[in-house]
Structure 1
Amino acid sequence: MADDKSQSGGQDRTRINIHEDYELRDWSKKLGVTAEQLKAAVQAVGPTVAAVQKHLETK
């Protein structure tokens, strides 16, 4: 099922979908990392923002 971009908020704010270019761009900018670093972090700890932030802080 496609991501419904008209339904944002809630769970969308707590997860990072690295398969959506706009999410990759926006989250990379917000977290201050490259798209490749963000992809690696999501692959390492999963898509939740909290886990990714914690992972990036320890690097």
Structure 2
Amino acid sequence: MADDKSNRGFRDQSRVSADEEYEVRYFAKQNRITPDEVRALIREHGNDRKRLAREARKLRG
């Protein structure tokens, strides 16, 4: 089932879906990492947006 883009509730904003290419690309661009690195972070740390952002910062610097 596809992600409902009109649903902008709390749960939708706090997670990054590895199944949705646009979410992966957006998160990658926002954090200056590659989409492949985003998918690897999701596999390793889960899909919580705050935790992924913290781990992305570690990758960059």
> How far apart are the structure 2 equivalents of 1:31 and 1:9?
22
> How far apart are the structure 2 equivalents of 1:27 and 1:9?
18
Q: Which residue of 1 aligns with 2:2?
A: 2
> Structure 1: any 5+ residue segments left out of the alignment?
none
> How far apart are the structure 2 equivalents of 1:31 and 1:57?
7
> Structure 2: any 5+ residue segments left out of the alignment?
none
- For the pair 1:41 / 2:41, whether they are aligned, the reply is yes
Q: TM-score, normalised by structure 1?
A: 0.83
**Percent of matched pairs sharing the same residue:** 29
- Give the RMSD, CA atoms, in angstroms: 1.4
